[in-house]
């Protein structure tokens, strides 16, 4: 069975948003072509932080980009983003959500961040995505969304460790690139752990 995981297509990650990703809006039409393909299950993750989340610079009276220790883990600080119930946290209305079987919230614990759609950054709590996909018999997982160097990367690495065959649909992803090489490093790391980097065109050829 083939699954599609759509990562964090939320207003705050689009250009002009609180944590705007350059060209982040350009992935939406690409993902809307993916959702037309005959996947057995389509799911989305949603970054969903409480007010005062530990990943917010404002919570620590610090500046975005600084790093603090959060429950013993290094944490990059971000602008306030994807606050539960805010407009910025909503899934972008132009995304085709008609095929979504589930929306997986993540980052809800105030004291630990969650880049991956499977586990928090300390691998302490699971979101339930893995049993959901396993129950549907998913073996091949296609991943698309924002951002390549954070939530896409960590979701991919966890999916590989959980035994999925992972395909990252690279033209349906964009990176934050705090450092200009972050995107390429993320791609190399995903590839070296066994993910296949593919384009929409290649996915169409595999699935049609
Ligand atoms: C993300 C930073 C903070 C992401 C979420 O979706 O990639 N990045 N929260
Ligand atoms: Zn976040």
Secondary structure string (H, E, C) spanning 134-149: HHCCCCEEEEEEECHH
With a Cβ cut-off of 6 Å, ligand 1 is lined by 8, 13, 47, 78, 115, 146-147, 150-151
- pLDDT recorded at residue 107: 98
**C-alpha–C-alpha distance, residues 174 and 183, integer Å:** 8
For residues 51-68, give the mean pLDDT: 98
198 in a structural domain: yes
pTM: 0.98
Select from 5, 14, 19 the residue to mutate for testing ligand 1; criterion: most ligand atoms less than 8 Å from CB. 19
**C-alpha–C-alpha distance, residues 116 and 106, integer Å:** 8
- pLDDT recorded at residue 47: 98
55 in a structural domain: no
Considering its fold, how many domains does the chain have in total? 1
58 in a structural domain: no
- pLDDT recorded at residue 163: 98
Distance 53 CA to ligand 2 centre (A): 9
- pLDDT recorded at residue 8: 99
Please confirm, yes or no, whether 40 is among the known catalytic residues: no
Please confirm, yes or no, whether 130 is among the known catalytic residues: no
Backbone angles phi, psi at 26, to 5 degrees: -70, -15
65 in a structural domain: no
Whether residue 43 contacts residue 36, with contact meaning beta carbons closer than 8 Å, is answered with no
146 in a structural domain: yes
Q: Could you tell me the residue range of the domain that residue 155 belongs to?
A: 2-50+80-207
Ligand number nearest CA of 24 is: 1
List the alpha helices (DSSP H) in the chain.
27-34, 129-135, 153-161, 182-192, 200-207
Which CATH number fits the domain that encloses residue 126?
Answer: 3.40.50.850
Write out pLDDT tens, residues 71-120: 999 999 999 999 999 999 999 999 999 999 999 999 999 999 999 999 99
- pLDDT recorded at residue 130: 98
Whether residue 12 contacts residue 82, with contact meaning beta carbons closer than 8 Å, is answered with yes
Average per-residue pLDDT for the chain: 98
135 in a structural domain: yes
**C-alpha–C-alpha distance, residues 107 and 97, integer Å:** 21
Write out pLDDT tens, residues 4-44: 999 999 999 999 999 999 999 999 999 999 999 999 999 99
- pLDDT recorded at residue 41: 98
Distance 35 CA to ligand 1 centre (A): 22
Query: Helix, strand, or coil here: 200?
Result: helix
30 in a structural domain: yes
- pLDDT recorded at residue 147: 98
Q: How does 136-167 read in b/e, with b if 16+ C-beta sit within 10 Å?
A: eebebbbbbbbbbbbbbbbbbbbbbebebebb
- pLDDT recorded at residue 129: 98
Please confirm, yes or no, whether 8 is among the known catalytic residues: yes
Whether residue 29 contacts residue 36, with contact meaning beta carbons closer than 8 Å, is answered with no
185 in a structural domain: yes
Which candidate, 77, 117, 86, places its Cα nearest to that of 11?
86
Write out pLDDT tens, residues 111-160: 999 999 999 999 999 999 999 999 999 999 999 999 999 999 999 999 99
Ligand number nearest CA of 53 is: 2
For residues 39-61, give the mean pLDDT: 98
């Amino acid at each position: 069975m083939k699954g599609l995981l759509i990562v964090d297509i939320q207003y705050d990650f689009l250009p002009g948003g609180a944590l705007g990703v350059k060209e982040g809006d350009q992935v939406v039409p690409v993902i809307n072509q993916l959702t037309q393909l005959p996947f057995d299950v389509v799911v989305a993750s949603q970054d969903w932080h409480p007010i005062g989340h530990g990943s917010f610079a404002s919570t620590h009276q610090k500046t975005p980009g600084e790093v603090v220790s959060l429950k013993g883990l290094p944490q990059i600080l971000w602008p306030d983003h994807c606050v539960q119930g805010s407009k910025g946290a909503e899934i972008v209305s132009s995304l085709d959500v008609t095929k979504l079987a589930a929306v997986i919230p993540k980052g809800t614990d105030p004291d630990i961040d969650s880049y991956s759609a499977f586990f928090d950054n300390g691998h302490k709590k699971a979101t339930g995505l893995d049993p959901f996909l396993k129950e549907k018999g998913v073996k091949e997982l296609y991943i698309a969304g924002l951002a390549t160097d954070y939530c896409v990367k960590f979701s991919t690495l966890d999916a590989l460790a959980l035994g999925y065959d992972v395909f990252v649909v690279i033209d349906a992803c964009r990176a934050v690139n705090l450092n200009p090489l972050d995107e390429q490093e993320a791609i190399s790391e995903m590839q070296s752990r066994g993910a296949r980097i593919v384009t929409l065109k290649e996915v169409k050829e595999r699935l049609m």
